[in-house]
Amino acid sequence: MPELRPSRPLVGILWMLLTGLCFVAVTALVKLLGPRIPAVESVFLRYVIGLILLLPLLGRLKLGEITPRLHMLFAARGLVHAVGAGFWFFAMARIPLAEVTAMNYLSPVYVTIGAALFLGEPLALRRILAVGAALVGTAIILRPGFREVGPGQMAMLVTALAFGCSYLLAKVLADRADAALVVAMLSVWVTIGLAPAALMAWVWPTWAELGILLGVALFATAGHYTMTLAMAAAPVAVTQPVTFLQLIWATLLGVLVFHEPIDIWVVVGGTVILGAVSYITWREARMKRRAVTPAVPATKF
């Protein structure tokens, strides 16, 4: 048996802190980009840039070993992820940073439900209660009947569901293909899937807007890399609670940079959702089974 790597909780926490900063930077840059560029075009350009960054890696991948079934799975994941990313860009231009961050915590909850329905993952009473708590957290954020639930909030519900589906497909692919291939093919298929819609809605971006999208691609790539380092250094049960700081940073950034008011219900609801997700991942660690529910950053854009 291969030797298990020693756990380094402090290192894992530090890497996850950096991960959170990277993803908050992504949300801030997309917010700065604004709604002038259509959401579908923004996502298309982000993944085109990401694909260019991946070009050195593509040459080392064994593309000839991809079976027709793998191609179908890669395509399905790419299209689902493209939908999620498009709605995420749409929401970012319309609702506060803190609300986007809080509602994105829902993705791992959808993964838990989907894993039970489609992958045969057991769904014990405690996990059902945790999922219920997460849904209560969502209701606290949205407060239907007490305020208008607009297109931005609805877009984030779709985003979280789409990213959850994308993660489940990634788990299936991880058993059949190299991790680097899974990452690279996501960029390829998102780019292919969005190209027709992006071209139909095309608005020529300025150099400044292209620079912002380059920053989005760089920070998103860096965030996924540091997240991988965090998970290699310490168990998810240790690093997961650190993701709560993303909500704090997003709230502060929204107030200080974008002059958004603090909505205490968004903070409370986000805390409830993240607490439920953290409990689910902690239970998986305690049960020592193959983890299905991801860390929150694993379902990020």
pLDDT tens readout for residues 95-111: 888 888 888 888 888 88
pLDDT score of 284: 66
Q: Cα separation of 65 and 61, whole Å?
A: 9
User: Domain locations in the chain?
Assistant: 9-299
CA distance 95 to 159: 14
Going 250 to 252 to 257 to 263, the CA torsion angle's sign is positive
pLDDT at 62: 62
- Round to whole Å and give the CA distance between 185 and 298: 17
- What is the distance between the alpha carbons of residues 301 and 217, in angstroms, rounded to a whole number? 10
What pLDDT score does 217 carry? Answer: 86
The confidence score (pLDDT) of residue 2 equals: 43
Side chain identity, residue 20: G
Q: Which token pair is 181?
A: 């291939």
pTM of the model: 0.82
Structure tokens that stand for 60 in this block: 């080392």
Check residue 1 and give its pLDDT: 40
- Token pair, residue 87, equals 């709605």
Per-residue pLDDT of the chain (301 residues; tens, 9 = 90+): 444 455 677 888 888 889 888 888 888 888 888 888 888 888 888 888 888 877 776 666 666 667 788 889 889 989 999 999 889 988 888 888 888 888 888 888 888 888 778 777 777 777 788 888 888 888 888 887 677 788 889 999 999 899 888 888 887 887 777 767 777 788 888 898 889 989 998 999 999 999 998 998 888 878 877 877 786 777 666 776 777 788 888 888 888 888 888 888 898 998 898 888 877 777 666 665 555 666 666 666 6
Q: Which long-range CB contacts under 8 A does 69-73 form with residues at least 24 apart?
A: 70/173, 70/176, 70/177, 73/169, 73/172, 73/173, 73/176
Closest CA to 20 of 252, 300, 286, 267: 300
Give the three-class secondary structure for 147.
strand
- Asked if 103 and 44 count as a contact pair (C-beta separation under 8 A), the reply is no
| Alpha-carbon distances, residue 281 vs 68, 98, 255 (angstroms) | 34, 23, 31
First to last CA, the chain: 35
Tell me the one-letter amino acid at 119.
Answer: L
Query: Rounded distance, CA 66 to CA 145, Å?
Result: 50
Q: What is the pLDDT of residues 20-62, one digit of tens each?
A: 888 888 888 888 888 888 888 888 888 888 888 777 766 666 6
